[in-house]
Structure 1
Amino acid sequence: MRKDLAKNKKAFHDYTIIESFEAGIILQGSEVKALRAGRANLKDSFVRIIRGELFLLNAHISHLQTAHSHFRPDERSPRKLLMHRKQIDKLLGKVSTDGLTIVVLSLYLNNKNIVKANIALAKGKNLHDKREALKAKQANLEARAALKRYI
């Protein structure tokens, strides 16, 4: 069982998802409580490989009012992602040779109540690709509505 805490809906619109992976995430202070309260935004976030380690950049996790006022981590601080070395090397090879991007799709709690990040290798969409995807989505919705009316 998996409980989604935050989703990056913009990633599916802006990118074509090629392959997805699971990664652990290092959080500090009351960030887990803030995530459980739904106070996260992954809209413009992305993943970079810096010195052989994965970092989640530009993700926003807000403060809780009930948290200690002295210890408040930066809301947009880089957060380290945890993966096996072979997986990181595979991602680095794909990013450097194929020109792909690594994006975060969601943050979720696994069945052991540990926060995990669902990251993906993605290729950026052009404007016409986005338009075609929207047209296909709209046609699919209309077809479902017509079937519903028919039945």
Structure 2
Amino acid sequence: MAKHNGKLVAQNKKANHDYFIEETFEAGIVLQGTEIKSIRAGKVNLRDSFATVKQGEVYINNMHISPYEQGNRYNHEPTRARKLLLHRKQIDRLIGETQQAGYALVPIKVYIKNGFAKVLIGLGKGKKKFDKREDLKQKQAKRDMERALKDR
């Protein structure tokens, strides 16, 4: 399980709600032009994004990076597919895992680490509707217990 220790820029809060995240990987992002300036400004949205493996390379799709305000003609397309930088062994493992039914690569967080933009992607298995309801019940029960202990 990879942990990030950089400045958090964006987080996909629906990832843990919609998927059982079994393993996480830290990947660099291949950016162009003014994209890093927009990321540092926090103009990133991971809501509908997903990662795919094509021809032995991993790409993140639908990650919205807003155009940089002072970028004029050097700006980028906001939702283009961006290549992720991973080790060959990690990519080979992801290829094998994602070919199994029900598994997907889900971007969880985008952060800045040592001046570089990184994305934390998780290997997730989709939750069924009853799993989501069960998680909400457990979360509510935990919240109620903490509230009761606090009131003592």
Smaller-chain TM-score range? over 0.9
CA distance in 2, matches of 1:136, 1:30: 43
Q: Which of these residues, 14, 35, 52, is aligned with residue 48 of structure 1?
A: 52
What is aligned with 1:129? 131
For structure 2, the 5+ residue unaligned runs are none
What is aligned with 2:83? 80
Q: Which of these residues, 125, 140, 143, is aligned with residue 142 of structure 2?
A: 140
- Percent of residue pairs identical: 46
CA distance in 2, matches of 1:142, 1:34: 40
Tell me the TM-score normalised to structure 2 length. 0.93
Tell me the TM-score normalised to structure 1 length. 0.94
What is aligned with 2:73? 70
SS at the partner of 1:65?
coil
Q: Which of these residues, 94, 99, 107, is aligned with residue 97 of structure 2?
A: 94
| Contact 2:63–2:79 (CA under 8 A) maintained in structure 1 | yes
What is aligned with 1:116? 118
For each residue in 1:27-69, what CA deviation from the matched residue of structure 2 results, as whole angstroms up to 9, or x when unmatched? 11111111121111001100000100000001100012122x1
Deviation at 1:72, TM superposition (A): 1.6
Deviation at 1:142, TM superposition (A): 1.1
CA distance in 2, matches of 1:75, 1:30: 11
CA distance in 1, matches of 2:67, 2:101: 38
Amino acid at match of 2:62: N
Per mean C-alpha deviation after superposition, the further-off stretch among 124-133 and 95-104 is 95-104
What is aligned with 1:4? 8
CA distance in 1, matches of 2:88, 2:63: 23
Superposed CA RMSD: 1.0
For each residue in 1:127-147, what CA deviation from the matched residue of structure 2 results, as whole angstroms up to 9, or x when unmatched? 111111111111111111111
CA distance in 2, matches of 1:142, 1:35: 37
For each residue in 1:71-103, what CA deviation from the matched residue of structure 2 results, as whole angstroms up to 9, or x when unmatched? 221100000000011110001001113541111
CA distance in 2, matches of 1:2, 1:72: 26
CA distance in 1, matches of 2:102, 2:136: 25
